[in-house]
Structure 1
Amino acid sequence: MSQLTIAQSGQTEKKTQRPFVLAAIIVSMFMAAIEMTIISTAMPSVVGDLGGFSLYSWVFSAFSLMQAVTTPIYGKLSDLFGRKPVFITGIIIFLLGSILCGLAKSMVALVIFRLIQGLGAGAVQPIGITIVGDLYTLQERAKIQGFFSSVFGISSVLGPLVGGLIVQYTHWSWIFWMNIPLGILSIIGVILFLHEGIEKQKRSIDYAGSGLFFVSITSLMIVLIQGGVKWSWTSLQIGSLLLVFALGAILFFLWERKASEPMMPLDIWKNRFIATANAATFTSGALVIGLTSFLPTYIQGVMGHSAIVAGFTLTVMTVGWPLAALAGSQLIMKIGVRPTAVMGGIAAFTGSLFFLTLDPAKGAIWAGTGSFIIGIGMGLTSITFMTSIQNSVDWQKRGVATASNMFMRLLGSSVGAALLGGILNMRFNGFLSSENNSLGGAVSMNSIDQLLNSSGLQQMPEKEMQIVQSGLTIALHSVYWGVFVLAALTMIGTLFLPKAEKQDMR
């Protein structure tokens, strides 16, 4: 018997209004999508105001890391206590973090508040998708999630543009505060229209596993960001952190094997489709964060365009994503999961070539074209992975299975932001100590802060600005090599998907 059942009989069934519940979830997804794309476009302005470019990637990593840690927990909590209370709690925490982020006075404070925001965000998207999986049949779900992705994409389209307008005409803090009315609307909709029955049973949450995972992954992220920058790769600090990571990872897997209610049930990874899809989701998550985190810096810092133009280059990706997701929901039923996913992998790889060949002379249109093609790839792969994973397990494990895929995407985002941010910092520091830096110590990492600050840029000497832009171009080109490798791995992952899923999806 299931641990939790969305009410399906008697009086309770009449109270659950699927269209209104779907609308409430869409609002929350709008909030999440707006958040991710607005912060990407606004970050150069945030750095120009708060300073601390060396912590740039932590603003993304902190949010994604906390999401990654809490998503499996929320998935398990939703299977035990119900989707509704967990979903509402997550939104409330997310809104608290949003308020604090808008009040941040330093980059360190912003990173801390992003952790709080991520703590709540871990429930918003995965539980929302799980609720949709509960309320709709397989045939309905493929169509609903295609529509779901389309609406999610529309909100993402607005994000970069709104972010560019906000930082250009008001203050960047509004990119966080605009979440408040959206979150309140979503909470009201779920409270009024979603009703579920829960069977009473003993509860067990894997706090130990979550703690071990958090410590282990955080140690790895610090190594990736600070290695070769603040500390040498052979330093005691790096060695100690790597030891903590290794021990934490070993203890985590040992604990998960014996935990009564594991954070990440290892048995679901025995399902070949889930294991393969989640591996490809990890690399695609790192790929997307590589673009959304660092492309605005290239457009604004290297090409010298405005935040609105930078927003355009990300907007086109979020146009391609929902369009492809909508088409993918139909392709799944016609040609099967694997061919649809492979098409997405090829598109992501093709789009990455645009960034590998990107230079200031090619302009924002070249970058936007690559973003659009990658968006198509992400749309095709994400819809196939999520729909099929939910169909590969029974109801009792659907929350955990859904959360596992979200977990791998978020983990990919966390590690990807840390890895690519570390590459950026290391390559720029290497440039500073090379013969290409004719100004020597007059140029530092802080020079990037000044470059991204409109008032500071006006005071920067022409020679210094050219050197900083040159160093930033070299560093970001190394980042795009990383994006290329991640896209190649994603494409390879889709080729290893099982071939037998086509009939299951009809």
Structure 2
Amino acid sequence: MSQPKTAGPVPEDKTAEEEQPRSPREIRLVMVGLVVTMLLAMLDNLIVGTAMPTIVGDLGGAEHLSWVVTAYTLATAASTPIWGKLGDLYGRKGTFLTSIVIFLVGSALSGLSQNMNELIGFRAVQGLGAGGLMVGVMSIMGALVPPRDRGKYQGMFAAVMALATIGGPLVGGFITDHLSWHWTFYINLPLGVIALAVVIATLKLPKVRNTARIDYPGAVLLTVGITSLVLITTWGGQQYAWGSKEILGLAALAVASLIGFCYVEQRAQEPMLPLSLFRNLNFTLVSIIGFIVGFVMFGSTVFLPLYQQIVQGASATNSGLLLMPMMFGMLVVSLVVGQAVTKTGKYRIFPIIGTVVMTGGLILLSTMGVGTSSFTSACWMIVLGAGMGFLMQITMLVAQNSVELKDMGVASSTATLFRTIGGSFGVALFGALFNNRVKDTMGQLLAGKPLPPGGAKDPGQTSPAELRKMPDYIQDAYHHAVSNGMHTVFLWGAGVAVIAIAAAVFLREVPLRGTGKGEKPAEASLEAAAV
């Protein structure tokens, strides 16, 4: 008995956009626009974060400071899966260009803000566009370049990530000191215009007709669920206690909305996120690995600079440089792995090696104490970065290779979403573990001793300059407290990373679609990966 056909995206010609052969020159030209767009997506928060003290001093409203970041993060996370699906339904080029325009409009309006409420609202607009930037880059990359050949280009994206992490705070500090905080947003405009011009001029994809209805109920339920999860991880242990009615209410809302989402998706004509994708074992496993990579990466980038500044006395001025060893390890390994995948067409061994090395790096970092030298900690950071270098691009590669070409956008957005949510949970869990261990250590070491005016502050809220003004015994207590907190954070992180090792071991070596000789057709590859 034949299955009923459902409406879906249909190119105006008979050749699907992803199946048209692309010349190396065409791909290189498009890559310029994609790389600039990725730089936009990654630089923004890093630049703005450096300028936040100046922005608060100018606009006031310090009590709403966290919402400048939260509004952007919420809008980005909630819109990510929607952008991916819209690209699949209506064409990747149009949705990608739309997301860039929305991001630039939000950037311009944020720079024009006259008060904190305006800035928060315009940052949400900016985040709405940002949700489509990374997804657009990855899905267009997946449409133009077969997985087998994608390793040639993935090193560029790893380089952009390293450049953004290191250069973002430097650029933000320079702009704030020598221009004004408004330019931390305006700087996006020339970069965005370049990206728009290059993509419009070089990216040639056929227009797509579509007769399917947008899955509005699924989009709403998924947005509510994602928003609730992000708010839980943002507010939990900070603005509200973990057991407060606000956090518990958000948890109940997240569970209810996600259950409702699963129910709706099983009946939707064109689901926002087809649950059938998770029947593919490889897709499910790399989603788990991507979640843990985000968990480890974002947690590490938050707490490592704190240790380096408080305990090792590093300067906070160039905070991006503190993470250079980890970014260096990630960049070099990502380049080597990309070339190896292109040459051999094999990839299963790399997630296994990467998860083991990442776990080892976390264990090494958990050994850091008050006497650990900067050289030693840099070596351990290189190990952690190398582990993530094995995984960052491979997880996206396997996710895209595990779905039909028509679902490239959904696969890209799902992989991005899992990494984003993992990062939110990583920062929240690491933060809770760190703060509890720090408080316990401070209580033990300072018991019966006089405290500074106002009591002993949270080390996360104490600047190195303030710490140096305190008595030696208080400085020593802070150093031990932060070291103990780091030990707990990374040891727990290593425990979580073991789950990624297990997931990597069960991955299947499915032939990559591409130019390798003797490869199986796409349909056979997908069947091989299915549960």
Aligned partner (choices 437, 449, 454) of residue 442 of structure 1: 454
Partner of 2:496: 486
> In 2 relative to 1, CA 492–305 (structure 1 residues): closer, same or farther, beyond 3 Å?
same
Aligned partner (choices 269, 290, 308) of residue 260 of structure 1: 269
TM-score, length basis structure 2:
0.79
Partner of 2:505: 495
Separation in 1, partners of 2:489, 2:55? 21
Aligned partner (choices 65, 83, 88) of residue 92 of structure 2: 83
Separation in 2, partners of 1:278, 1:150? 23
Q: Any conservation in 2 of the 1:44–1:452 contact (CA below 8 Å)?
A: no
Aligned partner (choices 355, 374, 377) of residue 367 of structure 1: 377
Query: Displacement, 1:424?
Result: 4.0
Q: Could you report, residue by residue, the CA deviation over 1:486-505 in whole angstroms, capped at 9, with x for unpaired residues?
A: 33332332122124457999
Query: Displacement, 1:153?
Result: 3.8
> In 2 relative to 1, CA 228–86 (structure 1 residues): closer, same or farther, beyond 3 Å?
closer
Separation in 1, partners of 2:485, 2:177? 26
After superposing the two structures, state which structure 1 stretch, 203-212 or 23-32, moved more. 203-212
Partner of 2:418: 408
Q: Could you report, residue by residue, the CA deviation over 1:363-405 in whole angstroms, capped at 9, with x for unpaired residues?
A: 4333332332222222211222222332333321122122221
Query: Displacement, 1:184?
Result: 1.7
- Tell me which structure has the larger Cα radius of gyration: 2
Verify: 1:3 aligned to 2:10, yes or no: yes
After superposing the two structures, state which structure 1 stretch, 77-86 or 326-335, moved more. 326-335
> In 2 relative to 1, CA 386–423 (structure 1 residues): closer, same or farther, beyond 3 Å?
same
After superposing the two structures, state which structure 1 stretch, 283-292 or 128-137, moved more. 128-137
SS at match of 2:149: helix
Verify: 1:219 aligned to 2:231, yes or no: no
Partner of 1:356: 366
1:442 partner amino acid: G
Separation in 1, partners of 2:321, 2:9? 46
Write out aligned runs for 1:271-286 (5 A).
271-286=280-295
> In 2 relative to 1, CA 447–110 (structure 1 residues): closer, same or farther, beyond 3 Å?
farther
Verify: 1:311 aligned to 2:320, yes or no: yes
Separation in 2, partners of 1:20, 1:95? 22
Q: Any conservation in 2 of the 1:87–1:124 contact (CA below 8 Å)?
A: yes
Q: Any conservation in 1 of the 2:159–2:331 contact (CA below 8 Å)?
A: yes
Q: Could you report, residue by residue, the CA deviation over 1:27-61 in whole angstroms, capped at 9, with x for unpaired residues?
A: 112223334555677789989998979977x7766
Separation in 2, partners of 1:31, 1:502? 30
> In 2 relative to 1, CA 174–76 (structure 1 residues): closer, same or farther, beyond 3 Å?
same
After superposing the two structures, state which structure 1 stretch, 418-427 or 96-105, moved more. 96-105
Verify: 1:346 aligned to 2:353, yes or no: no
Separation in 2, partners of 1:60, 1:486? 26
> In 2 relative to 1, CA 310–63 (structure 1 residues): closer, same or farther, beyond 3 Å?
same
2:419 partner amino acid: R
Separation in 2, partners of 1:480, 1:53? 31
1:189 partner amino acid: V
**Larger relative contact order (Cα-Cα within 8 Å, sequence gap ≥ 6):** 1
Separation in 2, partners of 1:64, 1:218? 9
Query: Displacement, 1:442?
Result: 1.6
Q: Could you report, residue by residue, the CA deviation over 1:228-267 in whole angstroms, capped at 9, with x for unpaired residues?
A: 5554444433433332222222112112222222221101
Aligned partner (choices 37, 57, 63) of residue 28 of structure 1: 37
For structure 2, which runs of at least 5 residues remain unmatched after alignment? 1-7, 517-531
Partner of 2:3: none
SS at match of 2:507: coil
> In 2 relative to 1, CA 9–256 (structure 1 residues): closer, same or farther, beyond 3 Å?
closer
Verify: 1:327 aligned to 2:336, yes or no: yes
Verify: 1:384 aligned to 2:394, yes or no: yes
For structure 1, which runs of at least 5 residues remain unmatched after alignment? none
Separation in 1, partners of 2:470, 2:411? 52
Q: Any conservation in 1 of the 2:307–2:483 contact (CA below 8 Å)?
A: yes
Separation in 2, partners of 1:210, 1:275? 21
SS at match of 1:296: helix
Separation in 2, partners of 1:105, 1:476? 40
Partner of 1:452: 463
Partner of 2:346: 336
After superposing the two structures, state which structure 1 stretch, 315-324 or 163-172, moved more. 163-172
> In 2 relative to 1, CA 286–499 (structure 1 residues): closer, same or farther, beyond 3 Å?
same
Query: Please, what is the CA RMSD of the aligned residues?
Result: 4.1
1:371 partner amino acid: M
> In 2 relative to 1, CA 139–339 (structure 1 residues): closer, same or farther, beyond 3 Å?
closer
2:361 partner amino acid: G
Separation in 2, partners of 1:110, 1:463? 42
Q: Could you report, residue by residue, the CA deviation over 1:335-373 in whole angstroms, capped at 9, with x for unpaired residues?
A: 722111111112211221232112342143333323322
After superposing the two structures, state which structure 1 stretch, 218-227 or 334-343, moved more. 218-227
Q: Could you report, residue by residue, the CA deviation over 1:317-336 in whole angstroms, capped at 9, with x for unpaired residues?
A: 22222321221123334372
> In 2 relative to 1, CA 83–143 (structure 1 residues): closer, same or farther, beyond 3 Å?
same
After superposing the two structures, state which structure 1 stretch, 275-284 or 92-101, moved more. 92-101
Separation in 1, partners of 2:52, 2:19? 46
Q: Could you report, residue by residue, the CA deviation over 1:280-331 in whole angstroms, capped at 9, with x for unpaired residues?
A: 1011111111012222233224433213553223122222223212211233
Partner of 2:102: 93
Partner of 1:197: 206
> In 2 relative to 1, CA 107–326 (structure 1 residues): closer, same or farther, beyond 3 Å?
farther
Partner of 1:145: 154
Aligned partner (choices 121, 138, 153) of residue 129 of structure 1: 138
Q: Any conservation in 1 of the 2:325–2:381 contact (CA below 8 Å)?
A: yes
Query: Displacement, 1:67?
Result: 2.8
TM-score, length basis structure 1:
0.83
Separation in 1, partners of 2:101, 2:178? 29
Separation in 2, partners of 1:169, 1:25? 30
Query: Displacement, 1:434?
Result: 6.5
Q: Any conservation in 2 of the 1:336–1:503 contact (CA below 8 Å)?
A: no
Separation in 1, partners of 2:210, 2:392? 34
SS at match of 2:209: coil
Q: Any conservation in 1 of the 2:18–2:144 contact (CA below 8 Å)?
A: no
1:486 partner amino acid: V
Q: Any conservation in 2 of the 1:53–1:446 contact (CA below 8 Å)?
A: no
Partner of 2:525: none
Q: Any conservation in 2 of the 1:282–1:412 contact (CA below 8 Å)?
A: yes
Aligned length: 500
Separation in 1, partners of 2:514, 2:208? 30
Query: Displacement, 1:145?
Result: 2.7
1:387 partner amino acid: L
Q: Any conservation in 2 of the 1:7–1:197 contact (CA below 8 Å)?
A: no
Separation in 2, partners of 1:108, 1:461? 40
Write out aligned runs for 1:178-257 (5 A).
178-227=187-236, 230-257=239-266
2:225 partner amino acid: S
> In 2 relative to 1, CA 243–2 (structure 1 residues): closer, same or farther, beyond 3 Å?
closer
Partner of 2:128: 119
